[in-house]
Amino acid sequence: MNYFELFELPVNLKPEKAHVKKKFYELSRQYHPDFFTNENEEAQAEALEKSSLVNKAFKTFQNEDETIKYVLQIKGLLEEDEKFQLPNDFLMEMMDLNESVMDAEIEGNIGQMAAAEAQIEQFKNEIYEPVQQIVEDYKEGVTTEKELLQVKTYYYKKKYLNRILAGLR
């Protein structure tokens, strides 16, 4: 059972937050291990497993990047430790950005660091723009594999930018 089935949701890159929250509380009450203390070990173990699954699903659905990653994984388009090759032009831009960040850090220049952070946020907006419609309008059986592969490239680019940003903070 995947997270979407557990939460009775259609597979989606942006699950409806209100439904996710409501279903989380419902499932948390249903499978809370404290309600199974008088049951046999098998029932207790199953409740603990379901409770853990509910928590993992909720955590995934609360993070847009993790939801994208999860959907790509269940579609067989992303593997856990995959070595994804980003486009060379993007990597060249990131080399320049990394140099700016390193210069700002070495000099301790807060203004340069803020400028680098703003540049990273601008890159995030630029890489999201081409996939925005795909992410927001995803439909199971309608969205193509080619479109999902574009989302995969976006996912890895954003992940790269987030690593640079984390180094700034």
What pLDDT score was predicted for residue 37? 79
Domain that holds residue 116: 88-168
Q: Determine contact, residues 164/98, Cβ cutoff 8 Å.
A: yes
Separation CA 147–CA 26 (nearest Å): 34
| 74, part of any domain | no
Separation CA 167–CA 107 (nearest Å): 15
* Residues 96, 159 within the same domain: yes
What pLDDT score was predicted for residue 47? 82
pLDDT mean for each 10 residues of the chain (169 residues): 95 95 94 80 84 95 97 95 93 89 75 84 95 96 96 97 83
* Residues 158, 102 within the same domain: yes
The alpha-helical segments, DSSP class H, found in 63-144 are 64-74, 88-107, 110-128, 132-136
Q: What is the pTM of this model?
A: 0.88
| 160, part of any domain | yes
Token pair for residue 68? Answer: 């994208």
What pLDDT score was predicted for residue 169? 64
Could you give the number of structural domains in the chain? 2
CATH number at residue 23: 1.10.287.110
What pLDDT score was predicted for residue 22? 97
| 150, part of any domain | yes
Residues 6+ away with beta carbon under 8 Å from 113: 101, 104, 105, 168
